[in-house]
Structure 1
């Protein structure tokens, strides 16, 4: 019964994605207006979540064509979603959009007209430069609306490189071992926890967070 359900799930996932996504290439399948009417991102997420327990078995038993098709569909979805994720985090007016480190991210808050962003790395990665005493970077009127950064030129605030040990940054500058940046922002409580940790660290440095712009709180993930 479980195998039958998994095989059915595999078909539903592929067909469902193909139906919900619009024409990604000249040779790709197009969803009709009736297919897309009333559909949402939540529908796709719910479908993937529903069959996640069977997914490993689907992959190991899947045929080459179906695996490649699903990988392509998912990649096309990511190509659309990632730019939208960036837009969800709005930088302070006149400040350029900071670049989140690949294999990590930025926790950002805005307080009294100054934006603070704390670089963080995923497990298995560490910062290129020592950051134990450099918890965050800032941008605002006091910085000439340019990001403070250890990197010359551009708006790259940090780089997370493969590493078996995490020693270059503060203890809080790494996402939990059982999580990643993308996993964190997928759950509102986990995202809020990281933002609150950062706010507490700013408070301990004597920064008055009373004039915080809560609407600007966000976490940006690199890719």
Structure 2
């Protein structure tokens, strides 16, 4: 684990950040905890290669969870330059993590990988050589088009291995626009008010709940899921 200890030289911290070469999760821990604390600096904040090799994602999650309750207070103390640097570095980190996360979803060939709506996601299952994906929006967003009776999109042999969609010229299966009301989709097509797509992905229980809901809805429409490929069950966030 990288070690952070108090010091008064916040300027030194920001300069040394530019030369960080630690692996992805070490960088994320350092940025999340150190950049915002402008009255903190490090004597050994950058792990050596052997320490980085022994680091795990669990280490990162543990550190972020520990400090998550005081993020608002730390941000309030932050200055313009380090906060802008934090946003940039975290965005680069997310850009690296998303492709890795997508690999956890088994894709049905030759169907193209579906593109989840921003501010929402897709719940996907594969049954009898066809992939079904249910678009969902986060709280505070609604679908661009009315789709109460259009619960899902499908790609498979019957569709020529192309995705059915109301959209044209892109791979997105739906669009979630800012909205105070959620009226365009079915009741189950919205993530709960206390959750988001990304929050759902973080917990196995909530993933299973959304997948089971979708499977029941497919069953209500006469689609037998007994032969589904369970390894292809997936939730994709936009």
Match of 1:117 in 2: 133
Q: Residue 44 in 1 paired to residue 44 in 2?
A: no
Q: Residue 191 in 1 paired to residue 207 in 2?
A: yes
Aligned partners of 1:53, 1:22: CA distance in 2, in Å? 20
Comparing 152-161 with 126-135, greater Cα deviation is found at 152-161
Q: Residue 213 in 1 paired to residue 229 in 2?
A: yes
Aligned partners of 1:84, 1:37: CA distance in 2, in Å? 18
Where do residues 68-87 of structure 1 align in structure 2 (5 Å cutoff)? 68-87=84-103
Give the aligned length: 208
For residues 119-164 of structure 1, the C-alpha deviation after alignment (integer angstroms, 9 at most, x for no partner) is: 0000111001110000000001111000011112332210001111
Comparing 56-65 with 165-174, greater Cα deviation is found at 56-65
Q: Which of 198, 206, 213 in structure 2 is aligned with 1:182?
A: 198
Aligned partners of 1:81, 1:33: CA distance in 2, in Å? 21
* Cα drift, residue 86 of structure 1: 1.9
Match of 2:35 in 1: none
Name the structure where helix makes up a greater proportion of residues: 1
Q: Is the 8 A contact 1:20 1:35 kept in 2?
A: no
Structure 1 length-normalised TM: 0.85
Q: Considering only aligned residues, what root-mean-square deviation do their CA atoms show, in Å?
A: 2.7
Aligned partners of 2:57, 2:86: CA distance in 1, in Å? 17
The unaligned stretches of length 5 or more in structure 1 are: none
Match of 2:24 in 1: 21
3-state DSSP of counterpart to 1:164: coil
3-state DSSP of counterpart to 1:211: coil
Aligned partners of 1:64, 1:124: CA distance in 2, in Å? 28
Aligned partners of 1:155, 1:97: CA distance in 2, in Å? 8
Relative distance call for 1:77 and 1:201 in structure 2 (3 A) is same
Aligned partners of 2:88, 2:50: CA distance in 1, in Å? 24
Match of 2:164 in 1: 148
* Cα drift, residue 90 of structure 1: 2.5
Structure 2 length-normalised TM: 0.80
Relative distance call for 1:31 and 1:122 in structure 2 (3 A) is same
